[in-house]
Structure 1
Amino acid sequence: MYEMKNKKILQLVVAGVLCAVGLVIPMFMPKIVLGPMSFTLASHVAIFLAMFISPAVAVAVCIGTTLGFFLTTPLIIALRAASHIVFAIIGALLIKKIPSIIEKPASSMVFNGGLALVHAACEVAVVSPFFMAGYMFKPEQLETGYLMSVLVLVGGGTLLHSLIDYTIAAVLWKPLRVAMPDVAQLRE
């Protein structure tokens, strides 16, 4: 009983720290702005690290960071953040079921690609109604059309951004799990 209570407390603390990291990174990391999209380097790293730990931590970090975005950013950005729960849950459950999926380079690359596709599809699904309604898009962005503004910039940009952030998280995860074995064991 005592061990389970400690595990829950550790999950809560780790989720809180990763939420803080997920909210602080966009404040300090470089941004690339292309039309209707902005990409902040490493902005998904906290979510990927949470996903590597456990489904519960992944969900908590997605909810925590989304709440932060709802308080500090335009609606479309906050909703894009909310969509992260989809790829985070899928990824965390797959890792729980097949832990080796992130251990071997080939399977990790395929896993990363699949998650990036889900991530991009979710963000396109969030942004599409805003585009169709002409809401929160500048006239010149609407003129470039759905293909360029939403599918290429949002979908393709998110795909690339997700691939990069996952890779950063995977590189960080290796030394973190050695330095903090209790956190790495939360997955079990």
Structure 2
Amino acid sequence: MAQPRLPVPQLMKAALLTAMAILIPIVSPVKIVIPPASFTLLSHLPIFIGMFISPQVAVLVNLGASAGFLLAGFPPEIVARALSQTIFVVIFSIYIKRYKKQFPWDNPWKVQGLSFLIGCVHGAGEALAVLFFYLFIAGIPLTSQWIYHSLLGLVMAGTVIHSMFDFMIAFLIARRIQILPSAEYKK
């Protein structure tokens, strides 16, 4: 009999996190939508926790989150942004998997630095997704000043801040439920 790609415990975690990722954009009471930007409180939380588990779990959860934004009726450029998160999810979940035991998780400066780096790649990926959407699907010319304001201000900078906030909450949860190594749990 063939070995499943994901062990059953990871598959169960992926299913629960995916359900959360789908529901958060639908039921969250805190949503700020200024197309092409949107900020839904804790929308990245299941994705980041998935990244701490494995790359496969993280990608499944991100696809679920994208479906959640679609089902919640968000504009197509925001759904495209959610789908573009697959880029940073793959890159950094592989990094976390590779260096999980060596990374200094007890050093707040290093964790915040990783969070900022993830936020920058995350923001750049979402800005590129919006740029692609507006140029090739909506047909808005690149000379429009509004695009630069939207991409750099709302999407990129806003995503970095939102990403770092959600990452830190996910980090604290992952430490508490012992997904990440912690000095206090090594006793």
**TM class, shorter-chain normalised?**
0.7 to 0.9
1:35-184 to structure 2, matched below 5 A, reads: 36-73=36-73, 74-99=75-100, 100-101=102-103, 103-104=105-106, 105-132=108-135, 135=138, 145-177=146-178
Aligned residues: 172
**Correspondence for 1:17:** 16
Report the 3-state secondary structure (helix = DSSP H, G, I; strand = E; otherwise coil) of the residue aligned with 2:134: helix
* 1:1-48, Cα deviation, whole Å (9 max, x unpaired): 9xx76x611111110100111122222241223453220111000000
Q: State whether residues 29 and 42 of structure 1, in contact with CA within 8 Å, keep that contact through their aligned partners in structure 2.
A: no
Give 1:98 deviation, angstroms: 0.8
Letter in 2 for 1:48: F
Question: Deviation string for 1:40-84 (max 9, x for gaps)?
Answer: 111000000000011111111112222333444332122111111
More divergent stretch after superposition (109-118 vs 68-77):
68-77
TM-score (norm 2): 0.80
CA distance in 2: counterparts of 1:56 and 1:151, whole angstroms: 30
Cα distance, 1:87 vs structure 2: 0.9
Q: Secondary structure at the match of 1:33?
A: strand
> 2:31 and 2:39 mapped to 1: Cα distance?
5
- 1:134 CA displacement: 8.3
Distance 1:61 1:32 in 2: 22
More helix by share: 1
Structure 2 gap segments, 5+ residues each? 180-187
Distance in 2, matches of 1:72 and 1:66, equals: 10
> Could you say what secondary structure the match of 1:32 adopts?
strand
**In 2, distance between residues paired with 1:70 and 1:102?**
37
Mapped to 1, the partners of 2:70 and 2:103 lie a distance apart of 33
Gaps of 5+ in 1: 179-188
Q: Distance in 2 between matches of 1:93 and 1:132?
A: 31
Quickly say closer, same or farther: Cα 1:170–1:125, change in 2 above 3 A: same
Flag the 1:56–1:130 CA change in 2: closer, same or farther, 3 A: closer
Partner-residue secondary structure (3-state), 2:39: strand
RMSD over aligned Cα, in angstroms?
2.7
| Alpha carbons of structure 1 residues 40 and 85: separation in structure 2 relative to 1, 3 Å | same
For 2:40 and 2:113, locate their aligned partners in 1 and report how far apart those are by CA, in whole Å: 23
| Structure 1 stretch displaced more, 56-65 or 66-75 | 66-75
Displacement of 1:165 in angstroms is 0.7
Structure 1 length-normalised TM: 0.80
Secondary structure of the residue that 1:101 maps to in structure 2?
A: coil
